[in-house]
Amino acid sequence: MLANQRREKIKDLLKEDGSAKVISLARIFRVSEVTIRQDLEKLEKDGYIIREHGGAFLKSLEDSVRSFTLFNRENMDKKEVIGRVAAGYIDSGDTIILDSGSTTTEIARNLSGKKNLTVITNALNIALILGAEPGIEVIVTGGEFKPPTLSLTGQKAADFFEDLHVDKLFLATAGISLRSGLTYPGLSDIIVKKAMIDAADVKYLVADSTKIGKNSFASLGALSLIDYIITDAKIEKGSLQLFRDHQIEIIIAE
């Protein structure tokens, strides 16, 4: 992996976890700690991070958490459309899981008026959006707090879903490809997302078109784990046809 590629992956990881240790990054990328320190020096010089002893953290992380806003706000026009369309697949009386993320947050914003709806989530911001909605019961997992995504993760979050059964899951992702499947920068999230999938009858993957063909370094598994992909109309025709050729159901949000 080239240095620029590695630094982009480090940035992706920090956008998920908020901070990272040099020793952990060296192990993940299979390079020396000296190399990782050089990467962090460059990212700090570019104004993206602040280095600390043994690691680094996102420069604007504290402000983001204090204002309770998600760190990643890219492609929000696409995510808003996906959120509105995905909410249309949720019926009053359903029990659903909403994964953490900016796209699933847009789903939550479109659930007003649903009746007898139960929402299980690991996202604290989603819990606050829906907590005061009449007719919606909100259940929050336990787990370790991840500042950039305002979410709970790790083994305790995963254990929460053991023996649960829900109608529908709306899952977020960082990358989608036929070859690598579903990929994520946050290693701690993999066990949580697997537990969510195991608990749901119908699995919807919600992802804007910029994530199609993109790979991160932690793999959840093949696309066969999910039933539907909801994405925006900017998906390339070649990618759309490729998914359909492999019998993958695509819902275009317009």
> For 4-46, how does the pLDDT look when each residue is reduced to its tens digit (9 = 90+)?
888 988 888 887 777 788 988 888 888 898 999 899 999 888 8
Q: So what's the pLDDT on residue 118?
A: 98
- The per-residue pLDDT for range 181-228, each reduced to its tens digit, is 898 877 788 999 999 999 999 999 999 999 998 877 788 988 889 999
> For the chain, what is the radius of gyration of the CA atoms?
18
8-state DSSP, 123:
B
* Cβ atoms 200, 168 nearer than 8 A: yes
CA 85 to chain centre: 18
- Whether the per-residue pLDDT at 130 is higher than 90: the answer is yes
At 98 the three-state DSSP class reads: strand
8-state DSSP, 212:
B
- The per-residue pLDDT for range 212-222, each reduced to its tens digit, is 988 777 889 88
Q: Give the angle subtended at the CA of 234 by the CAs of 6 and 178, to the nearest 5°.
A: 55
CA neighbor of 60 nearest in space, from 52, 51, 45, 49: 49
Task: Tell me the whole-structure pTM to 2 decimals.
Answer: 0.84
Domain boundaries of the chain, sorted by first residue = 3-59, 76-253
Q: So what's the pLDDT on residue 71?
A: 65
- Whether the per-residue pLDDT at 58 is higher than 90: the answer is no
* Cα–Cα distance measured from residue 105 to residue 102, given in angstroms and rounded to the nearest whole number: 5
Beta pairing, strands 228-232 & 218-221: unpaired
* Cβ atoms 89, 107 nearer than 8 A: no
The DSSP H or E segment spanning 171 is strand 166-171
For domain 3-59, say whether CATH 3.40.50.2300 is its number: no
Range from 53-67, 200-214, 223-237 carrying the lowest mean pLDDT = 53-67
Surface-to-core class of residue 42, CB atoms within 10 Å of its CB (0-12 exposed, 13-18 middle, 19+ buried): middle
Instruction: Classify 76-253 by CATH class.
Output: alpha beta
Residue type, 31: V
Q: So what's the pLDDT on residue 251?
A: 95
